[in-house]
Chain A
Amino acid sequence: MLLHRLVDNDFISSLQDMHRLRQQLNRLLATEPGMAEFPPINVFSSDNGALAWAEIPGIDPKDIDISLVNDTLTVRGERRPETAGDSCHRQERLYGQFTRTIQLPFPVEADEVKARFFDGILEISLPRAHSDKPRKITVTSE
């Protein structure tokens, strides 16, 4: 019975719901200046570097500030409310200033960092520093 429940799809999806709820609560409860968990960031890695995707819907790309020191990436910005004066019935979206810092497992070639913003997602491509890349040494015969 227990085993059956454990593998039940509904049970697993309710666990995922709980996990999501916890993440949302964590975000809501992060009250210090610059909401700690906003924006959420996914990081993808490859042999040549990493790609960071941050979900920041509704921000003006001009209000995003990206800086990089060695292997540490910092994203700062501010999401401004879109309307003023109307009465508000429900507010679930977060507004205000944010700062996120992530440390990468390798130093980054700062001059080659690129960023673009599409559909509410900030994409930062972070190439691995040339000096840090593994070097292949071929043996020459005499």
Chain B
Amino acid sequence: MATGLMQTKEHADIQTNGNRAADTQRTYTPATDIYESADHLLLLTDMPGVKPEGVDITVEQNMLTIHGHVSMPKLDGYSLMHAEYGMADYRRVFALSNEIDREGIQASVKNGVLKLVLPKSKKAAPRKITVKG
């Protein structure tokens, strides 16, 4: 699915995962919601196990890359008995349109959810033009 302002780069992501096969660390594609309002895009990404300092966000040309490093407390004396999810870093790449103000991107992490606010640049914001009588 593509919005005019942002596209997910699933293909690029899979390629990157393939290249990483040599190193044992796998990455997961985190579930993400994208909302749009009049002046910004809002991105919510599930990253359970990631602390605020474990998130790397880079914007290079038009590619926004999110990387979340999982840090789990060590469990001495415990062994894994039943597993329904894997614990590995998260990675996802999005393509931004020129209408996003790259300097104004804000990120926060709360309760394992990364929240990205991507403001639309002033140029792209809808302007109301009043007709003079």
Residues of A whose CB lies within 8 Å of any CB of B are 9-10, 13, 16-17, 20, 23, 37, 40-47, 50-51, 55-60, 82-83, 85-94, 102, 117, 119-121
Contacts and interface: CB of A to CB of B under 8 A. Distances in A.
A85 to B, nearest CB: 8
B44 A58 contact: yes
Q: Describe A's contact surface by its main secondary structure.
A: mixed
B51 interface: yes
Contacts of A44: 75, 78-81
Contacts, number: 120
Given A46-B77, A121-B48, 8 more contacts: A13-B21, A40-B84, A42-B83, A44-B81, A46-B78, A90-B3, A92-B31, A119-B51
A119 B48 contact: yes
Interface of B: 1, 3, 6, 8, 17-18, 21-22, 26, 28, 31-37, 41-42, 44, 46-51, 75, 77-86, 110-113, 115
15 contacts: A10-B18, A13-B21, A37-B84, A40-B85, A42-B82, A57-B112, A59-B111, A82-B44, A86-B35, A89-B6, A89-B34, A90-B1, A90-B8, A120-B46, A121-B112
